[in-house]
Structure 1
Protein backbone atom coordinates (compact mmCIF):
# COMPACT_ATOMS: atom_id res chain seq x y z
CA UNK A 1 0.00 0.00 0.00
CA UNK A 2 1.36 3.41 -0.98
CA UNK A 3 1.95 5.90 1.79
CA UNK A 4 -0.69 8.34 0.54
CA UNK A 5 -3.27 5.55 0.33
CA UNK A 6 -2.32 4.38 3.84
CA UNK A 7 -2.77 7.88 5.26
CA UNK A 8 -6.14 8.21 3.54
CA UNK A 9 -7.31 4.85 4.88
CA UNK A 10 -6.05 5.65 8.35
CA UNK A 11 -7.79 9.02 8.39
CA UNK A 12 -11.01 7.43 7.20
CA UNK A 13 -10.88 4.87 10.01
CA UNK A 14 -10.40 7.58 12.63
CA UNK A 15 -13.32 9.62 11.28
CA UNK A 16 -15.64 6.60 11.04
CA UNK A 17 -14.83 5.22 14.52
CA UNK A 18 -14.10 8.53 16.28
CA UNK A 19 -11.44 6.79 18.39
CA UNK A 20 -8.76 4.25 17.42
CA UNK A 21 -5.85 2.46 19.13
CA UNK A 22 -2.44 1.80 17.60
CA UNK A 23 -2.61 -1.96 18.23
CA UNK A 24 -5.90 -2.25 16.32
CA UNK A 25 -4.52 -0.24 13.40
CA UNK A 26 -1.42 -2.43 13.24
CA UNK A 27 -3.59 -5.54 12.85
CA UNK A 28 -5.92 -3.99 10.27
CA UNK A 29 -3.38 -2.19 8.12
CA UNK A 30 -0.65 -4.79 8.33
CA UNK A 31 2.12 -2.31 9.11
CA UNK A 32 4.39 -1.79 12.10
CA UNK A 33 3.43 0.12 15.22
CA UNK A 34 6.19 2.64 14.45
CA UNK A 35 4.65 3.31 11.01
CA UNK A 36 1.19 3.79 12.49
CA UNK A 37 2.52 6.21 15.10
CA UNK A 38 4.37 8.24 12.44
CA UNK A 39 1.25 8.38 10.29
CA UNK A 40 -0.92 9.47 13.22
CA UNK A 41 1.62 12.12 14.14
CA UNK A 42 1.60 13.46 10.57
CA UNK A 43 -2.21 13.62 10.45
CA UNK A 44 -2.22 15.33 13.83
CA UNK A 45 0.30 17.91 12.58
CA UNK A 46 -2.16 18.68 9.77
CA UNK A 47 -4.86 19.13 12.46
CA UNK A 48 -6.95 16.37 10.89
CA UNK A 49 -7.00 14.20 14.04
CA UNK A 50 -6.15 14.53 17.73
CA UNK A 51 -3.44 12.26 19.13
CA UNK A 52 -4.19 10.44 22.36
CA UNK A 53 -2.15 8.10 24.54
CA UNK A 54 -1.90 4.94 22.45
CA UNK A 55 -4.04 6.14 19.54
CA UNK A 56 -6.08 9.02 18.15
CA UNK A 57 -9.54 10.59 18.06
CA UNK A 58 -11.33 12.78 15.55
CA UNK A 59 -10.42 16.45 15.50
CA UNK A 60 -13.18 19.06 15.98
CA UNK A 61 -15.01 19.58 12.69
CA UNK A 62 -13.45 16.58 10.93
CA UNK A 63 -16.71 15.21 9.55
CA UNK A 64 -15.29 14.73 6.06
CA UNK A 65 -11.99 13.86 4.44
CA UNK A 66 -9.80 16.49 2.79
CA UNK A 67 -10.00 16.42 -1.00
CA UNK A 68 -6.34 15.37 -1.32
CA UNK A 69 -7.15 12.16 0.56
CA UNK A 70 -10.51 11.51 -1.07
CA UNK A 71 -8.79 11.03 -4.43
CA UNK A 72 -7.63 7.57 -3.36
CA UNK A 73 -11.18 6.31 -2.75
CA UNK A 74 -13.00 4.40 -5.54
CA UNK A 75 -10.81 5.85 -8.35
CA UNK A 76 -11.96 3.47 -11.10
CA UNK A 77 -15.63 4.01 -10.32
CA UNK A 78 -15.17 7.78 -10.35
CA UNK A 79 -13.45 7.64 -13.74
CA UNK A 80 -16.32 5.68 -15.28
CA UNK A 81 -18.87 8.02 -13.73
CA UNK A 82 -16.98 11.05 -15.02
CA UNK A 83 -16.77 9.74 -18.58
CA UNK A 84 -20.50 9.03 -18.65
CA UNK A 85 -21.36 12.45 -17.22
CA UNK A 86 -19.06 14.32 -19.62
CA UNK A 87 -20.68 12.57 -22.59
CA UNK A 88 -23.88 14.49 -21.77
CA UNK A 89 -22.27 17.87 -22.47
CA UNK A 90 -22.91 19.58 -25.81
CA UNK A 91 -21.49 22.66 -27.51
CA UNK A 92 -22.87 26.04 -26.34
CA UNK A 93 -24.07 24.61 -23.03
CA UNK A 94 -23.54 26.27 -19.69
CA UNK A 95 -22.30 23.61 -17.26
CA UNK A 96 -22.18 23.88 -13.47
CA UNK A 97 -19.63 21.99 -11.38
CA UNK A 98 -19.32 22.12 -7.61
CA UNK A 99 -16.24 20.82 -5.81
CA UNK A 100 -15.20 17.25 -5.11
CA UNK A 101 -13.12 14.42 -6.53
CA UNK A 102 -15.81 13.11 -8.87
CA UNK A 103 -16.72 16.52 -10.29
CA UNK A 104 -13.00 17.22 -10.76
CA UNK A 105 -12.81 14.11 -12.92
CA UNK A 106 -15.92 15.24 -14.81
CA UNK A 107 -14.20 18.58 -15.51
CA UNK A 108 -11.13 16.78 -16.89
CA UNK A 109 -13.26 14.58 -19.12
CA UNK A 110 -15.16 17.60 -20.47
CA UNK A 111 -11.87 19.34 -21.22
CA UNK A 112 -10.51 16.34 -23.12
CA UNK A 113 -13.56 15.55 -25.26
CA UNK A 114 -12.49 15.96 -28.91
CA UNK A 115 -15.97 17.07 -30.00
CA UNK A 116 -15.65 20.18 -27.82
CA UNK A 117 -12.03 21.12 -28.54
CA UNK A 118 -12.41 23.30 -31.65
CA UNK A 119 -15.63 25.24 -31.23
CA UNK A 120 -16.86 27.83 -33.69
CA UNK A 121 -17.16 31.35 -32.21
CA UNK A 122 -19.98 31.29 -29.69
CA UNK A 123 -20.10 27.49 -29.54
CA UNK A 124 -17.70 27.02 -26.62
CA UNK A 125 -18.86 25.36 -23.42
CA UNK A 126 -19.15 27.68 -20.42
CA UNK A 127 -18.21 26.14 -17.07
CA UNK A 128 -19.44 27.77 -13.87
CA UNK A 129 -17.76 26.48 -10.72
CA UNK A 130 -17.05 27.36 -7.11
CA UNK A 131 -14.09 24.95 -6.97
CA UNK A 132 -10.75 26.72 -7.29
CA UNK A 133 -8.91 23.52 -8.27
CA UNK A 134 -11.34 22.92 -11.15
CA UNK A 135 -11.06 26.54 -12.27
CA UNK A 136 -7.27 26.27 -12.16
CA UNK A 137 -7.26 23.22 -14.42
CA UNK A 138 -9.81 24.52 -16.93
CA UNK A 139 -8.65 28.13 -17.17
CA UNK A 140 -5.77 27.11 -19.47
CA UNK A 141 -8.14 25.36 -21.89
CA UNK A 142 -8.81 27.87 -24.72
CA UNK A 143 -11.93 26.03 -25.90
CA UNK A 144 -13.70 26.54 -22.55
CA UNK A 145 -14.97 29.66 -20.84
CA UNK A 146 -14.62 29.47 -17.08
CA UNK A 147 -16.73 31.47 -14.63
CA UNK A 148 -15.78 31.31 -10.95
CA UNK A 149 -18.10 32.29 -8.14
CA UNK A 150 -16.90 34.48 -5.32
CA UNK A 151 -16.59 33.26 -1.77
CA UNK A 152 -14.14 32.13 0.87
CA UNK A 153 -11.99 29.11 -0.02
CA UNK A 154 -12.47 26.08 2.21
CA UNK A 155 -9.22 24.17 2.68
CA UNK A 156 -10.76 20.70 2.88
CA UNK A 157 -12.57 20.84 -0.47
CA UNK A 158 -11.12 23.85 -2.35
CA UNK A 159 -14.69 25.15 -2.67
CA UNK A 160 -15.67 28.82 -2.39
CA UNK A 161 -18.46 29.24 0.14
CA UNK A 162 -20.31 31.97 1.99
CA UNK A 163 -22.55 34.87 0.90
CA UNK A 164 -20.03 36.13 -1.69
CA UNK A 165 -20.65 33.00 -3.77
CA UNK A 166 -24.36 33.50 -4.42
CA UNK A 167 -24.56 36.83 -6.31
CA UNK A 168 -22.87 35.33 -9.38
CA UNK A 169 -25.13 32.28 -9.34
CA UNK A 170 -28.22 34.48 -9.16
CA UNK A 171 -27.25 36.00 -12.50
CA UNK A 172 -26.68 32.80 -14.52
CA UNK A 173 -28.74 29.89 -15.83
CA UNK A 174 -27.15 26.45 -16.09
CA UNK A 175 -28.15 23.95 -18.77
CA UNK A 176 -26.82 21.12 -16.64
CA UNK A 177 -25.30 20.88 -13.17
CA UNK A 178 -23.00 18.02 -12.26
CA UNK A 179 -23.43 17.84 -8.51
CA UNK A 180 -21.01 16.06 -6.21
CA UNK A 181 -22.49 15.05 -2.86
CA UNK A 182 -21.45 13.44 0.40
CA UNK A 183 -24.71 11.52 0.65
CA UNK A 184 -27.84 10.77 -1.37
CA UNK A 185 -30.99 9.26 0.08
CA UNK A 186 -34.57 9.08 -1.18
CA UNK A 187 -36.05 10.44 2.04
CA UNK A 188 -33.39 13.06 2.80
CA UNK A 189 -32.23 14.05 -0.69
CA UNK A 190 -28.72 15.20 -1.50
CA UNK A 191 -26.54 16.37 1.38
CA UNK A 192 -23.07 17.57 2.35
CA UNK A 193 -21.09 17.41 5.57
CA UNK A 194 -20.46 21.17 5.60
CA UNK A 195 -23.34 23.64 5.79
CA UNK A 196 -21.51 26.31 3.79
CA UNK A 197 -20.90 23.95 0.90
CA UNK A 198 -24.49 22.73 1.04
CA UNK A 199 -25.84 26.29 0.81
CA UNK A 200 -23.79 27.14 -2.29
CA UNK A 201 -24.57 23.78 -3.87
CA UNK A 202 -28.26 24.44 -3.25
CA UNK A 203 -27.88 27.75 -5.09
CA UNK A 204 -26.36 25.86 -8.02
CA UNK A 205 -29.34 23.49 -8.03
CA UNK A 206 -31.79 26.40 -8.08
CA UNK A 207 -30.19 27.79 -11.26
CA UNK A 208 -29.97 24.49 -13.18
CA UNK A 209 -32.36 23.18 -15.82
CA UNK A 210 -31.05 19.67 -15.23
CA UNK A 211 -29.39 18.33 -12.08
CA UNK A 212 -27.12 15.31 -12.49
CA UNK A 213 -25.73 13.88 -9.27
CA UNK A 214 -22.38 12.14 -9.78
CA UNK A 215 -21.66 9.83 -6.85
CA UNK A 216 -20.10 6.43 -6.28
CA UNK A 217 -22.28 3.78 -4.69
CA UNK A 218 -20.68 4.23 -1.24
CA UNK A 219 -22.52 7.55 -0.90
CA UNK A 220 -25.97 6.18 -1.69
CA UNK A 221 -28.52 5.47 1.01
CA UNK A 222 -26.57 7.63 3.44
CA UNK A 223 -27.26 10.94 5.11
CA UNK A 224 -25.06 13.92 5.93
CA UNK A 225 -25.39 16.99 8.13
CA UNK A 226 -26.64 19.66 5.70
CA UNK A 227 -29.27 19.29 2.98
CA UNK A 228 -28.43 20.46 -0.53
CA UNK A 229 -31.78 19.68 -2.12
CA UNK A 230 -34.72 17.29 -1.93
CA UNK A 231 -34.70 14.19 -4.10
CA UNK A 232 -37.37 15.80 -6.33
CA UNK A 233 -34.77 18.30 -7.54
CA UNK A 234 -32.48 15.54 -8.84
CA UNK A 235 -33.10 14.56 -12.47
CA UNK A 236 -30.35 11.99 -12.99
CA UNK A 237 -27.91 9.97 -10.89
CA UNK A 238 -24.74 8.61 -12.46
CA UNK A 239 -23.21 5.96 -10.19
CA UNK A 240 -21.31 2.68 -10.41
CA UNK A 241 -22.55 -0.88 -10.76
CA UNK A 242 -22.03 -1.50 -7.05
CA UNK A 243 -25.16 0.49 -6.25
CA UNK A 244 -27.71 -1.46 -4.20
CA UNK A 245 -30.50 -2.68 -6.50
CA UNK A 246 -33.21 -2.00 -3.96
CA UNK A 247 -32.03 1.57 -3.50
CA UNK A 248 -31.83 2.05 -7.27
CA UNK A 249 -35.46 0.96 -7.55
CA UNK A 250 -36.46 3.43 -4.84
CA UNK A 251 -34.66 6.25 -6.61
CA UNK A 252 -36.28 5.42 -9.93
CA UNK A 253 -39.71 5.28 -8.30
CA UNK A 254 -39.07 8.76 -6.94
CA UNK A 255 -38.51 10.02 -10.50
CA UNK A 256 -34.70 9.92 -10.67
CA UNK A 257 -33.10 8.52 -13.81
CA UNK A 258 -30.34 6.18 -12.60
CA UNK A 259 -27.39 5.36 -14.84
CA UNK A 260 -24.97 2.71 -13.57
CA UNK A 261 -21.57 2.43 -15.22
Structure 2
Protein backbone atom coordinates (compact mmCIF):
# COMPACT_ATOMS: atom_id res chain seq x y z
CA UNK A 1 0.00 0.00 0.00
CA UNK A 2 1.39 3.42 -0.94
CA UNK A 3 0.02 6.65 0.55
CA UNK A 4 1.07 10.16 -0.53
CA UNK A 5 0.80 13.24 1.70
CA UNK A 6 1.67 16.92 1.19
CA UNK A 7 4.86 18.32 2.69
CA UNK A 8 6.56 21.67 2.03
CA UNK A 9 10.00 21.73 0.42
CA UNK A 10 12.82 21.08 2.87
CA UNK A 11 15.56 23.56 3.76
CA UNK A 12 18.69 23.10 5.87
CA UNK A 13 21.01 24.97 8.21
CA UNK A 14 23.69 26.94 6.36
CA UNK A 15 26.65 26.16 8.58
CA UNK A 16 26.08 22.43 8.66
CA UNK A 17 25.60 22.49 4.91
CA UNK A 18 28.97 24.22 4.51
CA UNK A 19 30.68 21.65 6.71
CA UNK A 20 29.11 18.80 4.76
CA UNK A 21 30.28 20.44 1.53
CA UNK A 22 33.83 20.67 2.89
CA UNK A 23 33.82 16.98 3.88
CA UNK A 24 32.48 16.04 0.45
CA UNK A 25 35.50 17.74 -1.15
CA UNK A 26 37.94 15.88 1.08
CA UNK A 27 38.03 12.40 -0.35
CA UNK A 28 40.73 10.11 1.14
CA UNK A 29 44.13 11.59 0.31
CA UNK A 30 42.65 14.84 -1.01
CA UNK A 31 43.76 18.32 0.00
CA UNK A 32 41.81 21.51 -0.63
CA UNK A 33 43.05 25.09 -0.37
CA UNK A 34 41.44 27.94 1.52
CA UNK A 35 41.03 29.83 -1.77
CA UNK A 36 39.16 26.90 -3.32
CA UNK A 37 36.87 26.63 -0.31
CA UNK A 38 35.99 30.31 -0.18
CA UNK A 39 35.24 30.31 -3.91
CA UNK A 40 33.19 27.10 -3.80
CA UNK A 41 31.24 27.98 -0.67
CA UNK A 42 30.80 31.66 -1.44
CA UNK A 43 31.80 32.85 2.04
CA UNK A 44 34.71 34.76 3.57
CA UNK A 45 38.05 33.18 4.42
CA UNK A 46 37.41 33.94 8.11
CA UNK A 47 34.17 31.93 7.98
CA UNK A 48 35.92 29.01 6.30
CA UNK A 49 38.70 29.06 8.91
CA UNK A 50 36.13 28.85 11.72
CA UNK A 51 34.44 25.91 10.03
CA UNK A 52 37.76 24.13 9.47
CA UNK A 53 38.75 24.66 13.10
CA UNK A 54 35.45 23.13 14.26
CA UNK A 55 35.79 20.17 11.89
CA UNK A 56 39.39 19.57 13.00
CA UNK A 57 38.32 19.63 16.65
CA UNK A 58 35.81 16.90 15.82
CA UNK A 59 38.55 14.83 14.17
CA UNK A 60 36.95 15.09 10.72
CA UNK A 61 39.88 16.75 8.92
CA UNK A 62 43.39 18.13 9.44
CA UNK A 63 44.09 21.79 8.80
CA UNK A 64 47.15 22.58 6.73
CA UNK A 65 48.95 25.81 5.86
CA UNK A 66 46.44 27.45 3.54
CA UNK A 67 43.78 24.74 3.56
CA UNK A 68 42.85 21.29 4.86
CA UNK A 69 43.30 17.62 4.10
CA UNK A 70 41.30 14.52 4.86
CA UNK A 71 41.73 12.93 8.28
CA UNK A 72 43.75 9.71 8.38
CA UNK A 73 40.67 8.00 9.80
CA UNK A 74 38.43 7.51 6.76
CA UNK A 75 34.78 8.06 7.63
CA UNK A 76 31.95 6.58 5.61
CA UNK A 77 29.36 7.81 8.10
CA UNK A 78 28.46 11.48 8.51
CA UNK A 79 28.39 12.43 12.22
CA UNK A 80 24.90 12.84 13.65
CA UNK A 81 25.58 16.46 14.63
CA UNK A 82 25.94 17.30 10.92
CA UNK A 83 23.29 14.90 9.63
CA UNK A 84 20.71 16.76 11.71
CA UNK A 85 20.53 19.52 9.10
CA UNK A 86 20.10 17.32 6.02
CA UNK A 87 16.55 17.13 4.59
CA UNK A 88 15.35 18.57 7.89
CA UNK A 89 11.75 19.46 7.07
CA UNK A 90 11.23 16.22 5.16
CA UNK A 91 12.44 14.30 8.21
CA UNK A 92 10.04 16.25 10.42
CA UNK A 93 7.11 15.41 8.17
CA UNK A 94 8.15 11.76 8.00
CA UNK A 95 8.34 11.77 11.80
CA UNK A 96 4.88 13.25 12.20
CA UNK A 97 3.40 10.63 9.92
CA UNK A 98 5.22 7.82 11.69
CA UNK A 99 4.02 9.09 15.08
CA UNK A 100 0.44 8.82 13.84
CA UNK A 101 0.97 5.05 13.59
CA UNK A 102 1.42 4.77 17.37
CA UNK A 103 -1.87 3.84 19.10
CA UNK A 104 -3.33 6.08 21.78
CA UNK A 105 -3.40 4.99 25.40
CA UNK A 106 -0.76 3.03 27.32
CA UNK A 107 1.82 1.76 24.87
CA UNK A 108 5.52 0.94 24.59
CA UNK A 109 7.85 2.13 21.82
CA UNK A 110 11.51 1.43 21.09
CA UNK A 111 13.41 4.13 19.19
CA UNK A 112 16.82 3.62 17.62
CA UNK A 113 19.42 6.31 17.02
CA UNK A 114 19.29 8.64 14.04
CA UNK A 115 18.09 12.12 13.18
CA UNK A 116 14.73 11.04 11.77
CA UNK A 117 13.96 8.80 14.73
CA UNK A 118 14.87 11.69 17.03
CA UNK A 119 12.22 13.75 15.28
CA UNK A 120 9.69 10.97 15.93
CA UNK A 121 10.57 11.11 19.64
CA UNK A 122 9.97 14.87 19.67
CA UNK A 123 6.49 14.38 18.21
CA UNK A 124 5.68 11.65 20.73
CA UNK A 125 6.97 13.71 23.66
CA UNK A 126 3.54 15.18 24.41
CA UNK A 127 1.72 11.87 24.34
CA UNK A 128 0.48 10.47 27.67
CA UNK A 129 1.05 6.93 28.91
CA UNK A 130 3.98 6.10 26.65
CA UNK A 131 7.02 4.05 27.64
CA UNK A 132 9.93 4.81 25.31
CA UNK A 133 13.03 2.63 25.22
CA UNK A 134 16.05 4.04 23.40
CA UNK A 135 19.78 3.54 23.01
CA UNK A 136 20.27 7.07 21.61
CA UNK A 137 21.69 9.62 24.04
CA UNK A 138 20.38 12.55 22.00
CA UNK A 139 16.85 11.15 22.03
CA UNK A 140 16.94 10.33 25.74
CA UNK A 141 18.11 13.84 26.59
CA UNK A 142 15.36 15.35 24.43
CA UNK A 143 12.48 13.55 26.17
CA UNK A 144 13.74 12.49 29.61
CA UNK A 145 12.35 15.58 31.35
CA UNK A 146 8.78 14.84 30.22
CA UNK A 147 6.75 13.69 33.26
CA UNK A 148 4.13 12.08 31.00
CA UNK A 149 6.68 9.60 29.61
CA UNK A 150 8.55 6.66 31.03
CA UNK A 151 11.97 6.82 29.36
CA UNK A 152 14.21 3.75 29.53
CA UNK A 153 17.83 4.17 28.44
CA UNK A 154 19.94 1.16 27.54
CA UNK A 155 23.52 0.74 28.64
CA UNK A 156 26.35 0.14 26.21
CA UNK A 157 29.38 1.67 24.53
CA UNK A 158 28.61 5.08 23.00
CA UNK A 159 29.51 5.55 19.33
CA UNK A 160 31.03 8.98 18.74
CA UNK A 161 29.46 9.43 15.29
CA UNK A 162 25.87 8.56 16.25
CA UNK A 163 25.75 8.99 20.07
CA UNK A 164 24.15 5.54 20.26
CA UNK A 165 24.86 3.02 23.01
CA UNK A 166 25.69 -0.31 21.37
CA UNK A 167 27.07 -3.71 22.28
CA UNK A 168 26.15 -6.43 24.74
CA UNK A 169 24.71 -4.15 27.45
CA UNK A 170 22.37 -2.45 24.98
CA UNK A 171 21.41 -5.77 23.40
CA UNK A 172 20.63 -7.25 26.82
CA UNK A 173 18.23 -4.39 27.54
CA UNK A 174 16.34 -4.92 24.29
CA UNK A 175 16.36 -8.70 24.83
CA UNK A 176 14.75 -8.23 28.25
CA UNK A 177 11.70 -6.28 27.05
CA UNK A 178 8.87 -6.42 24.55
CA UNK A 179 7.48 -3.33 22.82
CA UNK A 180 4.50 -2.64 20.63
CA UNK A 181 6.40 -0.75 17.94
CA UNK A 182 10.05 -0.25 17.09
CA UNK A 183 10.93 2.96 15.23
CA UNK A 184 14.08 2.13 13.28
CA UNK A 185 16.39 4.62 11.62
CA UNK A 186 18.64 3.39 8.85
CA UNK A 187 21.52 4.36 6.59
CA UNK A 188 20.00 2.33 3.76
CA UNK A 189 16.92 0.30 2.92
CA UNK A 190 16.43 -1.79 -0.17
CA UNK A 191 14.60 -4.85 -1.41
CA UNK A 192 17.90 -6.69 -1.79
CA UNK A 193 19.67 -5.64 1.41
CA UNK A 194 16.93 -4.93 3.91
CA UNK A 195 17.58 -2.21 6.49
CA UNK A 196 21.31 -1.56 6.87
CA UNK A 197 23.75 0.65 8.73
CA UNK A 198 27.47 1.44 8.65
CA UNK A 199 28.49 -0.31 11.88
CA UNK A 200 28.12 -4.03 12.57
CA UNK A 201 27.84 -3.61 16.36
CA UNK A 202 25.09 -1.03 15.93
CA UNK A 203 23.35 -3.44 13.55
CA UNK A 204 23.36 -6.25 16.14
CA UNK A 205 22.00 -3.90 18.80
CA UNK A 206 19.20 -2.66 16.57
CA UNK A 207 18.39 -6.20 15.48
CA UNK A 208 17.78 -7.09 19.14
CA UNK A 209 15.31 -4.20 19.27
CA UNK A 210 13.60 -5.37 16.08
CA UNK A 211 13.29 -8.96 17.30
CA UNK A 212 11.39 -7.88 20.42
CA UNK A 213 8.87 -5.59 18.75
CA UNK A 214 5.39 -6.58 17.56
CA UNK A 215 5.70 -4.10 14.70
CA UNK A 216 8.70 -2.43 13.02
CA UNK A 217 8.42 0.98 11.36
CA UNK A 218 11.45 2.17 9.38
CA UNK A 219 11.76 5.95 8.91
CA UNK A 220 14.10 7.01 6.12
CA UNK A 221 14.33 10.03 3.84
CA UNK A 222 14.44 9.36 0.11
CA UNK A 223 18.24 9.40 -0.09
CA UNK A 224 18.36 6.17 1.93
CA UNK A 225 15.99 4.18 -0.29
CA UNK A 226 17.85 1.77 -2.57
CA UNK A 227 21.07 2.23 -0.64
CA UNK A 228 22.93 -0.73 0.90
CA UNK A 229 25.54 -0.21 3.63
CA UNK A 230 27.81 -2.60 5.51
CA UNK A 231 25.69 -4.25 8.19
CA UNK A 232 22.13 -5.56 8.10
CA UNK A 233 19.82 -4.55 10.97
CA UNK A 234 16.67 -6.21 9.67
CA UNK A 235 15.43 -8.27 6.74
CA UNK A 236 12.48 -6.78 4.87
CA UNK A 237 10.43 -9.68 6.24
CA UNK A 238 10.89 -8.09 9.68
CA UNK A 239 9.78 -4.61 8.52
CA UNK A 240 6.07 -3.83 8.54
CA UNK A 241 6.01 -0.18 7.45
CA UNK A 242 8.43 2.18 5.67
CA UNK A 243 7.77 5.93 5.95
CA UNK A 244 9.75 7.95 3.39
CA UNK A 245 9.33 10.87 0.98
CA UNK A 246 8.79 11.41 -2.74
CA UNK A 247 12.49 11.87 -3.50
CA UNK A 248 12.83 8.10 -3.06
CA UNK A 249 13.40 5.94 -6.15
CA UNK A 250 9.88 4.81 -7.20
CA UNK A 251 11.16 1.59 -8.75
CA UNK A 252 12.88 0.63 -5.51
CA UNK A 253 9.76 1.51 -3.53
CA UNK A 254 7.77 -0.79 -5.81
CA UNK A 255 10.20 -3.62 -5.08
CA UNK A 256 9.91 -2.96 -1.35
CA UNK A 257 6.11 -3.02 -1.59
CA UNK A 258 6.32 -6.29 -3.54
CA UNK A 259 8.32 -7.74 -0.64
CA UNK A 260 5.32 -7.17 1.64
CA UNK A 261 6.18 -3.83 3.28
CA UNK A 262 3.52 -1.11 3.58
CA UNK A 263 5.07 2.08 2.20
CA UNK A 264 3.89 5.55 3.22
CA UNK A 265 5.27 8.40 1.12
CA UNK A 266 5.13 12.05 2.17
CA UNK A 267 5.50 14.57 -0.63
CA UNK A 268 8.36 17.07 -0.88
Q: Same fold by TM-score, threshold 0.5 exceeded?
A: yes
Cα distance in structure 2, aligned partners of 1:240 and 1:57: 32
- The Cα offsets for residues 37-88 of structure 1, whole Å up to 9 and x where unpaired, read as 5433431222112346754224415221211111110001001000001111
Query: Aligned residues, how many?
Result: 250
Cα distance in structure 1, aligned partners of 2:136 and 2:262: 26
Partner of 1:82: 95
The answer on 1:228 being equivalent to 2:233 is: yes
Identify if the C-alpha distance between structure 1 residues 61 and 238 changes in structure 2 by more than 3 Å, giving closer, same or farther: same
Contact 2:52 2:63 in 1 (8 A): yes
Partner of 2:209: 204
Cα distance in structure 2, aligned partners of 1:25 and 1:223: 31
Cα distance in structure 1, aligned partners of 2:250 and 2:40: 30
Report the more deviating stretch, 49-58 or 198-207. 49-58
Partner of 1:130: 135
The answer on 1:48 being equivalent to 2:56 is: no
Identify if the C-alpha distance between structure 1 residues 88 and 8 changes in structure 2 by more than 3 Å, giving closer, same or farther: same
Identify if the C-alpha distance between structure 1 residues 206 and 20 changes in structure 2 by more than 3 Å, giving closer, same or farther: farther
- Structure 2 unmatched runs, 5+: 1-12
Partner of 1:106: 120
Deviation at 1:258, TM superposition (A): 0.7
| Mapping 1:1-261, distance limit 5 Å | 2-11=14-23, 13-14=24-25, 17-18=27-28, 19-22=30-33, 24-32=36-44, 35-51=47-63, 54-90=67-103, 91-112=105-126, 116-117=127-128, 124-261=129-266
Deviation at 1:35, TM superposition (A): 4.1
Contact 1:14 1:58 in 2 (8 A): no
Report the more deviating stretch, 38-47 or 221-230. 38-47
- The Cα offsets for residues 171-221 of structure 1, whole Å up to 9 and x where unpaired, read as 111111110011111111111112221111111111111111000001111
SS of the residue corresponding to residue 175 of structure 1 reads strand
SS of the residue corresponding to residue 133 of structure 2 reads strand
Contact 1:47 1:59 in 2 (8 A): no
TM-score w.r.t. structure 1 length?
Answer: 0.88
TM-score w.r.t. structure 2 length?
Answer: 0.86
Identify if the C-alpha distance between structure 1 residues 35 and 137 changes in structure 2 by more than 3 Å, giving closer, same or farther: closer
Contact 1:94 1:176 in 2 (8 A): yes
Q: CA RMSD in A?
A: 2.0
Deviation at 1:132, TM superposition (A): 1.6
Cα distance in structure 2, aligned partners of 1:253 and 1:27: 47
SS of the residue corresponding to residue 195 of structure 2 reads strand
Cα distance in structure 1, aligned partners of 2:240 and 2:14: 38
Cα distance in structure 1, aligned partners of 2:134 and 2:144: 11
Contact 2:222 2:249 in 1 (8 A): yes
Cα distance in structure 2, aligned partners of 1:3 and 1:141: 30
Contact 1:184 1:191 in 2 (8 A): yes
Cα distance in structure 2, aligned partners of 1:14 and 1:153: 28
